[in-house]
Amino acid sequence: MISGIMNAKSCIFYFRTYQVYHKQFMSKEAELSFVICTYNRSRYLDESLSSLLEGSSPRKPVEVLVIDNNSPDETPEVVRRHQQKNRIQNIRIRYVKERNQGLSHARNRGIREASAPVIVFVDDDIRASKTYINSWIHFFEECPHAKAAGGKIHVQFDDPRPRWMSHFLLPLLGHHDFGDQIKRYSSSNYPFGGNMALKREIFEEVGCFNTNLGRKEDSLNAGEEKELFSRLKDHGIDFYYLPDALLYHRVGAKRLTVDYIKNQALGLGQSMKLRLEDESGWPFTKAWIVEAGKLLASVPLGLFYIIKLEPSKSLMLLKFRFWIWRGYFGYNSQ
């Protein structure tokens, strides 16, 4: 865990180096950098880039920066096609390959490479609303004091939704909706990684993503976003919810199986253990109180679905919480 934090903090050195580079060599500096980290999902990436570009007319220069995390598929060709056909004056598309495997490594590379003062992280399997890019531009124009924010995410099912998939499991698939008004996140909430914006200066202050956390290839470990936002809170940095920056997170059949949800829950438990292994005292106790509260809350929710004659949703909620705890205590699903 400590090595991952040190890697996160070492990003500060690279941040300063790349900052000098961009000031010297970028002739038309972007206002925002939209960073898409991707691994082996060229079909989704192709459609994601199309949705970001088609119909967009950014009022200020922006860049779309694709970080390829060693994809064995056609990812480079997909990006090249979009670069060749792009005719939007205020959008520049760039491609970078990151050979250190893992989402946190890819995001940290995106931070180092981005030329803009604001970095927006976007998943590689989304559909963007037509006002998406300009919503972020407008937000940081109107709220120049803001250093971090998260956008609204709705789930779009590409395949039929299973009967056992309740509303309370949708955040596993990226659903993130706190209403239609701009607001500060509460102390217990934070932006989702598939649609979040942070000013570059934050990373100089608190470091980058912890490379011991986050997904690597097919591993479903997570926790790197929560750990970063915890550091931001420790530094007194507020973050805001922006409903107008709406994305649709696409979900296919692969993510709609019981095994996928089980492995995701186990990964969440394992990530929680990594985050807490260097903690003691109140932070450790608080984390356990929160998790225990979620487990207890799943019981009345389960009863609610039983009353509604939807027992499969009730059972899956209870199983999900149980799997998280098994992941924490080192259970291996293989």
Question: DSSP letters of 129-162?
Answer: -TTHHHHHHHHHHH-TT--EEEEEEEEEESSPPP
Closest CA to 81 of 58, 50, 52, 54: 50
103-124: b (≥16 Cβ within 10 Å) or e: bbbbbbbbbbbbbbebbbbbbb
Tell me the residue range of the domain where 128 lies.
Answer: 2-256
What pLDDT shows up at residue 333? 45
> Does residue 143 share a domain with residue 61?
yes
Q: What CATH number should be reported for the domain holding residue 20?
A: 3.90.550.10
Determine the 3-state secondary structure of 222 from DSSP. coil
Structure tokens of 43?
Answer: 């079909």
> Does residue 309 share a domain with residue 217?
no
Contact by Cβ (8 Å): 192, 150: yes
User: Comparing 5 with 131, which gets the higher pLDDT?
Assistant: 131
The average pLDDT across 11-20 equals 47
Mean pLDDT highest for which of 120-124, 218-222, 291-295? Answer: 120-124
> Does residue 271 share a domain with residue 232?
no
User: Comparing 45 with 225, which gets the higher pLDDT?
Assistant: 45
> Does residue 51 share a domain with residue 34?
yes
> Does residue 267 share a domain with residue 251?
no
Q: In the chain, how many domains are there?
A: 2
Residue 333 belongs to a domain: no
Residue 334 belongs to a domain: no
> Does residue 301 share a domain with residue 237?
no
Structure tokens of 223?
Answer: 């926790």
> Does residue 72 share a domain with residue 169?
yes
Domain boundary among 237, 256, 275: 256
> Does residue 242 share a domain with residue 122?
yes
> Does residue 119 share a domain with residue 69?
yes
SS3 content of the chain, % helix, strand, coil (to 5): 50, 20, 35
> Does residue 312 share a domain with residue 187?
no
Residue 266 belongs to a domain: yes
Contact by Cβ (8 Å): 317, 302: yes
What pLDDT shows up at residue 264? 86
> Does residue 324 share a domain with residue 185?
no
The average pLDDT across 203-212 equals 89
What pLDDT shows up at residue 87? 87
pLDDT in tens, 268-306: 888 777 767 666 666 667 666 777 777 788 888 888 888
Residue 54 belongs to a domain: yes
Distance CA 215, CA 220 (A): 5
Q: What is the mean pLDDT of the chain?
A: 85
Domain boundary among 256, 283, 314: 256
